[in-house]
Amino acid sequence: MKKTLIIIITALMAFSVSLSAGPKKKTELKEVTFSVHLHCQNCVNKVQENIAFEKGVKDLKVSLQNQTVFVKYDAAKTSEATLKAAIEKLGYPVAGVVEPGHENCGHNHAH
C-alpha cells in the first residue's frame, strides 16, 4: 500500500510540474523614471504605498534626494501614461521623464 501511494504522489508531482512548465506568455517589462517634485518622506511613502499596487507594476523605487520615481512595469498591463496619471492623481505633478542613466546624477534631465 505504501509503495502504491508513493508512486501515485510521485506521478501527481511530475504531472503538476509539467503543467507549470507549459508555454508562458512572454512578459514585456519596460522601465521609466519620472521626475516628480517630492517635498518630504511622507510624499515618498504616499507614492510607494499607492503606485506599488498599480496594475502591472513589478518594481518601484522612489528617491526624495533625486526627486525621481522609477517604475519597472509589464507593458501588457499598464503604460507610461497610465503610471504618470496615477502619480499626478496623488497630487504630485510629473515634470517629465528622466533619461536612462541620469537617475542618480542629481541633475534634473526631465524632458
Q: What is the CATH number of the domain that holds 93?
A: 3.30.70.100
State the pLDDT confidence band at 26, using cuts at 50, 70 and 90.
confident
Helix 80-89 crosses helix 41-51 at what angle (to 10 degrees)?
130
pTM over 0.85: no
pLDDT tens-digit series, residues 74-105: 999 999 999 999 999 999 999 999 987 655 55
- DSSP letters, 4-28, are HHHHHHHHHHHHHHHHHTS--PPP-
Q: Is residue 11 part of a domain?
A: no
Establish if 16 belongs to a structural domain: no
Q: Is residue 84 within 8 Å of 94, Cβ to Cβ?
A: yes
Q: How many domains does the chain have?
A: 1
- What is the residue range of 73's domain? 29-97
Q: Is residue 75 one of the residues assigned to a domain?
A: yes
Q: Helix, strand, or coil here: 42?
A: helix
Q: Would you say residue 77 lies in a domain?
A: yes
Give the number of other Cβ atoms within 10 Å of residue 33's Cβ: 23
Mean pLDDT of the chain: 82
Domain assignment of residue 107, yes or no: no
Residue 10 belongs to a domain: no
